[in-house]
Chain A
Amino acid sequence: MFIKPYGDTSNDGAVQLSFTLPVKNCGRAKEAARLYVQKLGFQKVDVVHAAALSEDFTFFVAYGKTDVSLDYDKVEYAEAVDKYMSMDEVNEFIKTHFKRKLVIVGACTGTDAHTVGIDAIMNMKGYNHHFGLERYPMIEALNMGSQVPNEKILAKAKELKADAVLVSQIVTQKDVHIKNLTELIELAEAEKMRGKTLLVMGGPRVNNKLAKELGYDAGFGAGTYAEHVATFVVKKLYERMTTRK
């Protein structure tokens, strides 16, 4: 199935854009914006708004139509989990299949000081009425907080014999998160933890595809709740346990 953006008619290819150009706001600037959007491959370009940000910069809102379409059947993306369980189902699953509590250690590592993501997944209260892992009776959850060195979280995971490690990365400027996430994988490799302890990453600018590329077991982006991560962890651990037997 080939798809194109939908504005007000099937396959009209309508796209909304907004951007800034480093020129003074004037008629010529507006024409430049129109030509620029045309160069991007859009047709029937309409620059509907132009505003001066300073003497040297102008902000534009533009609409255009595109001919480009995409074969949706050929798009490959594996979700970390097909079907999520609720908190109660996760606990039952652990009781039935593991007969012990699972240990999960999490932190916002590297120089990143933003705990909002790891807190949403781990803290008792959770986020948006979805309880965090600390609330799960069958999970021992330890949230180590922010700016935790990669060495330290792995050492803690070893000490507690953690079943899974959760790494949160919020700051992504200049790809600082990629460097840090890669460092953690290398350390885990050196410590022979890969393939044993589940390594899971999360953050607004990461997803499952990036996680796989970097060598993590899974990655979760914006809109993730604790039960999503928990479902992945218990199912993956169960899969490993049963295939090893």
Chain B
Amino acid sequence: MTPLKSKLGLSKPKIDRARELAAEITAPVQEFIDTHTTVTIERATLRLLGADGANDDGVPVPNLIAAQCGAKLSGGAAAFYLNALLKLDKKPAELNKEIEKGLNICEIPLTDAKRIQKKAEEIIKGLDARIAGNVTHRNAQLKLSKDKIKSPMIYVIVATGNIYEDVKQAQAAAHQGADIIAVIRTTGQSLLDYVPYGATTEGFGGTYATQENFRIMRKALDETGEKEGRYVRLVNYCSGLCMPEIAAMGALERLDMMLNDSMYGILFRDINMYRTLTDQFFSRMINTAADIIINTGEDNYLTTSDAVEKAHTVLASQFLNERFAAGAGMPARLMGLGHAFEINPELKNGFLYEYAQALMAREIFPEHPLKYMPPTKFMTGDVFKGLAMNTLFNFVSKATGQGIHLLGMLTEAIHTPYLQDRHLAIDNALYVHNTMADFMDEIEFKKDGVMARRARQVLDETVEMLEEVKRHGLFTAIETGMFAEIKRPRDGGKGFDGVYEKAAGYYNPVEAYLKKKLKVGK
């Protein structure tokens, strides 16, 4: 990312003020996070310690253990698993088999805490080596393919429901030039309070995120990457009720990016706010440890609200996501803050506003690999108009140095992409990238022109909004519909019963390891 001088004349004190407000808004939330755990944080911890598999009814081993723990989850689930490994003298794979068959590990009397801690250290040493190995491998591959990865990186989605069909489409897209492949999840997975097990071939509008599916797609993309001489990044969805578990699986299987937002689940999936805010912290520590880039979901605000009137809610949320991520030890280079090209195409000068807002995001977040989302809301089924809109979107993305560029599909609003739709989208993007390769360096803007004024206005409105959120507190702000015009009560939504106040003596060696590694907390 080339450092920029502000071409829009944005006020640095205003930007600093927004960051200060974000820190003040998130601080009380972080206090809550630090004193709580959730059922999926405990399951993620178990997964990282080796818990895996599922019983004959498809209930995953981490869920079986969590159910055995019940209220004891408030003290942490890790000790029971470690204790069972010691007492039964088994390896994780062997113990998992026993648990699948019905062994209740919470009934085994706990051995000496020191022995448990020693066992934890031994397993975490292996975990650390596995994650570090993934990071080293990825970095080596990225170095080899440096000149072949595009800027912005081209991101496409596959969504057949069948992981083996996904592989065909993903390999074709990578061959055509895609740098990043996202396997979209089946509709409804975000609301499952478990992660399904094994390879899957049935899904609607997407494919189940399972550890085996991660492995299958990783292997396929590595193969294609080798052929093309270019590392292909893999993305999945670290969101919903199992956010930290998906992060754990991604860290183990070398995913490269994760959709991961601090508020998306609350607003758009009606997941309880305490649950999501606590989960996002733990999952972001895992993502950071595994050097996984997160993609935040601000683009979604503009599908429910007007992209001109509510542009400031996107920027406000970006500041909050940035602050929450920093609180989990995440460096800016891993924060793919989201935004979108969603202004009504019939609005006069709409393109100038899009351009101004995209450049504003780039100038305010210079080191962040911004995730820029294509038009969806005003895609109608007129595929020819859709292709034209996508071309303008591609233009803005290249002209403002976005990091992660999700390609628009001309058949958006019609069906999940056909093989040829991706080809046309990639072809379009490559054409734009090449024909205006150095455009960004060539252009400057009128000091008080439409674009500079637009960017200033959005920043001003953002600071005003953050001031107001700070006055009410984030929980109340969400309750009163300040984000995406969606109201969510603090004790409502899904997954609230899976939030636990940490008991005195709460034990979680994985959390301790992550905090130490990332220098998080005191």
Contact = CB atoms under 8 A, between A and B. Distances in A.
Interface of A: 18-20, 51, 53-57, 59, 111-113, 115-116, 119, 123, 125, 128, 145-147, 171-174, 176, 204-205, 222-223
A59 B175 CA distance: 14
A147 B377 contact: no
20 contacts: A19-B420, A51-B423, A53-B175, A53-B176, A54-B172, A54-B175, A59-B419, A111-B187, A115-B303, A116-B304, A119-B303, A123-B304, A123-B485, A125-B305, A125-B306, A147-B191, A173-B161, A173-B205, A176-B187, A205-B414
B381 interface: yes
Contacts of A18: 420
A20 B380 contact: no
Which applies to chain B's interface (DSSP): helix, strand, loop or mixed? loop
B344 interface: yes
B413 A204 contact: yes
A171 B176 contact: no
B203 to A, nearest CB: 9
B269 interface: yes
Interface in B394-420: 413-416, 418-420
Contacts of B83: none
A116 B303 CA distance: 7
B419 A53 contact: yes
B107 interface: no
B492 interface: no
Given A116-B377, A125-B306, A147-B191, A173 B416 contact: yes
Contacts of B188: 111, 113, 147
Contacts of B444: none
B481 to A, nearest CB: 11
A116 to B, nearest CB: 6
B32 interface: no
A111 B171 contact: no
A69 to B, nearest CB: 25
B175 A55 contact: yes
B439 interface: no
Contacts of A222: 380-381, 413
A176 B161 CA distance: 12
Given A19-B420, A146-B268, A204-B381, A54 B176 contact: yes
A113 B172 contact: no
A115 B485 CA distance: 13
B205 A171 contact: yes
A20 B377 contact: no
Contacts of A176: 187, 204-205
Given A113-B268, A128-B344, A173 B420 contact: no
A53 B303 contact: no
B57 interface: no
A20 B413 contact: no
A19 B418 CA distance: 9
B423 A59 contact: yes
B138 to A, nearest CB: 24
Contacts of A115: 303-304
Contact of B204 (A59, A171, A223): A171
B270 interface: yes
A113 B237 CA distance: 15
Q: Which 4 residue pairs across A and B have the least CB separation, nearest first?
A: A111-B188, A54-B172, A59-B420, A171-B205
Contacts of B486: 145
Nearest to B382: A222
B304 A119 contact: yes
Interface string B248-270: 00000000000000000000111
Contact of B346 (A54, A128, A145): A128
Contacts of B269: 113, 146-147
Interface string B143-178: 000000000000000000100000000011001100
Given A204-B414, A223-B380, A53 B270 contact: no
Given A113-B187, A222-B381, A174 B161 contact: yes
A66 B190 CA distance: 47
Given A54-B175, A57-B172, A173-B205, 16 more contacts: A19-B420, A20-B418, A20-B419, A20-B420, A53-B423, A54-B172, A55-B175, A59-B420, A59-B423, A113-B190, A116-B377, A119-B304, A123-B304, A146-B269, A147-B188, A176-B204
Contacts of B306: 125
B380 A173 contact: no
Contacts of A173: 161, 204-205, 415-416
A57 B419 contact: yes
Nearest to A115: B304
Nearest to B494: A147
A77 B205 CA distance: 30
Nearest to B224: A54
Nearest to B190: A113
Nearest to A19: B420
A55 B378 CA distance: 34
A193 B303 CA distance: 33
A54 B419 CA distance: 10
Contacts of A147: 188, 191, 269-270
Nearest to B416: A173
A53 B420 contact: yes
A146 B303 CA distance: 13
A213 to B, nearest CB: 21
A223 B303 CA distance: 16
Q: Which of A54, A115, A123 has the most CB of B within 10 A?
A: A54
A171 B377 CA distance: 15
B193 to A, nearest CB: 14
Contacts of A171: 187, 204-205
Contacts of B205: 171, 173, 176
Nearest to A61: B420
Contacts of B175: 53-55
B380 A111 contact: no
A86 B281 CA distance: 49
A97 B113 CA distance: 76
A43 B161 CA distance: 37
A171 B413 CA distance: 9
B415 to A, nearest CB: 7
